[in-house]
Amino acid sequence: MFTRASQRQTNAPAPFYEKVKQAISHQIATGVWRAHDRIPSEAELVAQFGFSRMTINRALRELTDEGLLVRLQGVGTFVAEPKGQSALFEIRSIADEIAARQHQHRCEVLLLEETQASARQAMALDVKEGTAIFHSLMLHFENDVPVQIEDRCVNALRVPAYLEQDYTATTPHAYLSLIAPLTEGEHIVEAVRATWQECELLRIKEHDPCLMIRRRTWSASNIVSHARLLFPGDRYRLQGHFMS
C-alpha cells in the first residue's frame, strides 16, 4: 500500500536530466536522428533546454553508458549503431571511466604504425601471418598518474582510417565503437608481472602486482581489434555489469 508520502514521490516530476534523455531518445526512436548522426553539442543542448551544463552532461553520459550514444572527445556526440544484445561485461572507454569519477584523462601515443602481422597477432585477429595490420601503443593517465598501457592491433581492412585519428582527443575504443560497432567481445583476465619497460611507464616497482585484460572485439562476424590492457594492481578495479 502506498502512503501519501510515497504517492507524492511517485507523482513527482522527472529530474531535468531524465527529460533531456527522454527527448534525445525520442529523436532517435522516431528516426529523426539515425545511426552515426552527430547530435547537437552540449552548449547547443544547454541553449535548447535551458538546463545547466552539468544536467546536459549527465544525460549524455547516461545515454552513452546505455549504448544509445557514442562520444568522441574533441569531436562530438553521435547516435550509436543499434546493438543486438548486451555483452556480459559492458565495455567502456577508459576516458569515460575516468570522467565518471570526475577526474582528468589524457593519453600519450607511444606508437602508431602499419605493420605485418606476427604469428601471435595473426592468430588474435584471425588473419594470415604477414597481413598488413595497424598497431598502436598508448599510455593512459588519470590526473597525470599512469593507469593503463594499451597495446592494440587492428584489422586494417575493417578500419582503414585507424592511423589517421588523433588519439589525444579521442580513444581507440570510442573510434572503433563508432566505425565498427561492437557485436561480440571476449575478455581474458590475468594477474601478471610487468616487464621493466612497462614498470617504467607505469611508475611501479619491478615486483608490484599488475592486472592484464586481453580483449578481442567483433563487429558482425569479423574480428576488428585485439587489445592487451595492463593496469597497476593498486590503481584498478575490475567491475562487470550483468543483465539477465
Q: What is the mean pLDDT of each run of 10 residues along the chain (244 residues)?
A: 42 80 90 88 93 93 84 81 47 80 92 95 93 97 94 96 94 90 83 92 90 90 93 68 43
Number of CB atoms found within 10 A of residue 13's CB: 7
Residue 76: the pLDDT is 85
C-alpha distances out from residue 47 to 41, 42, 77, 183, 192, Å:
10, 9, 17, 35, 49
Is-above-0.75 flag for pTM? no
Rounded distance, CA 145 to CA 58, Å?
25
Question: What distance in Å separates the CA atoms of residue 124 and residue 139, rounded to the nearest whole number?
Answer: 21
> Can you tell me whether residue 108 is helix, strand or coil?
strand
What's the pLDDT at 1? 40
DSSP collapsed to 3 states, 133-176: EEEEEEEEEECCEEEEEEEEEECCCCCCCHHHCCCCCCCHHHHH
- Given this model, what pLDDT does residue 29 score? 86
Q: Are 238 and 221 in contact (CB under 8 A)?
A: no
Looking at the chain, how many residues does it have? 244
CA-based radius of gyration for the chain: 20
User: 135 pairs with which residues across the strands?
Assistant: 113, 153
pLDDT at residue number 127: 93
pLDDT of residue 237: 59
Minimal CA–CA distance to 123: which of 149, 150, 155?
A: 155
Q: Which of helix, strand or coil describes residue 50?
A: coil
Whole-number Å distance between alpha carbons of 42 and 63: 13
pLDDT at 74: 72
Contacts of 233 (CB under 8 A, 6+ apart): 191, 208, 209, 210, 211
Return all residues near 60 (Cβ < 8 A) that are at least 6 apart.
24, 42, 45, 69, 71, 77
Distance CA 135, CA 89 (A): 25
Residue with cell 578500419: 159
Closest CA to 77 of 91, 64, 58, 88: 64
Summary count for the chain: helices (H), strands (E): 8, 8
Beta-bridge partners for 146: 141
